[in-house]
Amino acid sequence: MSADPAVAIRSARRADVFAIVAMLADDHLGAGRERFEDPLPDSYYAAFDALQRSPQIRMVVAEDQDGRVVGCLQLAVLPGLSSQGASRAIIEDVRVARDCRSRGIGEVLVRWAIGQARDQGCRLAELFTHQSRVDAQRFYARLGFQPSHVGMTMRF
């Protein structure tokens, strides 16, 4: 893995939604959940607009030197009473374009999120990985995350 994958992290723009959904859909779990069509269903843009209005959430992309969006990550920093009133960071929807994996792009994204969490005074960063994503669990463990919790979910 390259130590410097030469990507820039920047806030996602509405024009990035198509590339982001492409990454979300190109995945063994996402394939059944997303609708990657041209044009995309309006629900994706409505969600993007809601993200933009949320002061506590940032959706970022990794852009390579050619200006292509090759990764994404959503970070929420939420207040809470536990741990002496510490905010916690929740990292979601981390994806790297299939042809750009193993170059350290995911690591740049997640280290960016950890840095943001620290800068904003969080005492805790959390993320869910599906039980089947064994490679992802190894990746996060290497970055310092502990598999301390069971992530329980209910789909409606």
| Contacting residues toward a second copy, per CB under 8 A | 17, 20-21, 24, 30, 33-35, 41, 43-48, 50-51, 54, 56-57, 59, 74, 76, 78-88, 90, 92-93, 114, 117-118, 122-131, 137, 140-141, 143-156
- Compute CA distances 73 → 106, 143, 149, 156, whole Å: 9, 16, 21, 24
Closer Cβ to a second copy, 2 or 80, answer by number: 80
- Compute CA distances 69 → 87, 103, 141, whole Å: 30, 14, 26
Q: Which two tokens stand for residue 6?
A: 């030469």
Closer Cβ to a second copy, 36 or 101, answer by number: 36
| Shortest Å, Cβ 149 to a second copy | 3
| Shortest Å, Cβ 97 to a second copy | 15
| Shortest Å, Cβ 2 to a second copy | 23
* Among candidate residues 135, 104, 139, the one with its CA nearest the CA of residue 28: 135
Closer Cβ to a second copy, 65 or 85, answer by number: 85
Strand partners, 62: 9, 71
| Shortest Å, Cβ 114 to a second copy | 7
CB 44 within 8 A of CB 13: no
Q: What is the largest CA-CA distance in the chain?
A: 47
Closer Cβ to a second copy, 48 or 105, answer by number: 48
Residue 63 sits at the vertex; the CA angle it makes with 61 and 67, to the nearest 5 degrees, is 135
| Shortest Å, Cβ 133 to a second copy | 8
